[in-house]
Amino acid sequence: MAKNITSIKKLNPTAVLTITLLALMFGGGFLSGIWGFALGREALKGVNQPDARPTARKNQKESQLTSKPLVFLKEAEILKSVKTRIQERGKQTKPEKKEADSNTKEKLVAKAEAAQKPPTQPGFPITAQDKGVVLEIRSTRQQEGFLLLDVSLKNESSQPVQFVYTLLDLTDNWGRPLSANTEGLPGELPANSQAFTGTVNIPNSILENAEQLSLTLTDYPDQKIRLQAAGIPITKPNN
């Protein structure tokens, strides 16, 4: 013991001071590190580090998807569903299209009939019929110095019928024969035919003091059919 004390006393004072300073520095650094760690931990409470690994996110999503069982639809059910949808769409669109087409067709037919038929006048139509052939005088009108008779011919018989319109016999209420020409009427009416329309054109210059007309038309060459229409009123020209 006495030897140790004697050895300490023999140490260099400079070495003792150096060792003391180093001990104080290490102690101070250790205490500062503990204090800084405690402050940082307190400040970072409640903060979590984000998962920046894309593979981890992908694996997480895949695990969520695979956690739900996969349900495969049967082919018959898929085909049935598609067929039902197609039928529903067809039911929604087809009636509208058919209705639009029907309305358009009706309008065109009505327009054609209106263009074909002249305006209705009192006392018309005047009809003459013989052996299934029908002559109809629908109206009279004035046009560019002529009196026009709007007429139609229809053959409801089973045999065709021929006409020569130069043989048309036309007289006024005074019994005077009148000359006229025809437009639009066919030379032959087929059997069971539709109505053919045309006009009989009479110059106003030969209708002086006339009030009514009589018309007779026979077939050619047999002259077995005789169509007669009387009391046809004359439309006076506008002065």
CATH number at residue 213: 2.60.40.10
Whether 168 maps to a domain, the answer reads: yes
Whether 198 maps to a domain, the answer reads: yes
Whether 227 maps to a domain, the answer reads: yes
Q: Quote the domain boundaries for residue 169.
A: 128-233
Whether 11 maps to a domain, the answer reads: no
Q: CA-to-CA distance for 173 and 236, rounded, in angstroms? A: 15
Whether 160 maps to a domain, the answer reads: yes
Whether 184 maps to a domain, the answer reads: yes
Domains of the chain: total: 1
Q: CA-to-CA distance for 17 and 145, rounded, in angstroms? A: 149
Whether 200 maps to a domain, the answer reads: yes
Per-residue pLDDT of the chain (239 residues; tens, 9 = 90+): 555 545 555 557 787 788 888 888 888 788 888 887 777 777 766 666 655 555 556 566 565 555 556 566 677 777 778 888 887 876 665 555 555 666 676 666 555 555 555 556 778 999 999 999 999 999 999 999 999 999 999 999 999 999 999 989 999 999 999 999 999 999 999 999 999 999 999 999 999 889 999 999 999 998 999 999 999 999 888 76
Q: CA-to-CA distance for 16 and 21, rounded, in angstroms? A: 9
Beta bridge partners of 163: 219
| CB burial string 75-100: b at 16+ within 10 A, e below | eeeeeeeeeeeeeeeeeeeeeeeeee
Whether 156 maps to a domain, the answer reads: yes
